[in-house]
Structure 1
Amino acid sequence: MAETPVESMTFEDAIRELEQVVGKLERGDVALDDSIALYERGAALKKRCETKLSEAEEKVARITTGPDGQAAGTAPLDP
């Protein structure tokens, strides 16, 4: 089975695979070369999760509220 490119993964898919990678590395029963490949994949997955979280935080930060405290729309993203 081919690995899904990290760049196209959703946050949920990336975090799920990252948890699997960490589990395999923690067990310690993986050959050294495989451990290195898992670590590299895990680092890419971590970066993807951080990117997706940052994107979500920016979107949430841009939500504006009306006088009643309800969401009233969004403000444009600053360039």
Structure 2
Amino acid sequence: MSFAGEIVRRFAEPSTLMRYSIRRRRDGLFQIVHDGAKLPDGSQPDWMEHRVLAGIYETVDLAENELQRLTGGQWIRER
């Protein structure tokens, strides 16, 4: 589990490599994270790190609804 929590759902923007995830925090609540990217060598500079978005949600579904609202519903859930 990373500092941001355990990933329970992932979302991808169809036309780019951008990703978001919903993560379960240690206290059992959920948060939305803009997933950072990595360089070809596998390193992740600080400007590419994961960024927690505002909000703490009681359920994963509430977090997903908020993510879709914030992003205009253009994100597709990955399996």
Q: Larger Cα Rg: Structure 1 or Structure 2?
A: 1
TM-score of the superposition, structure 2-length normalised? 0.21
Which structure dedicates a bigger proportion of its chain to strand? Answer: 2
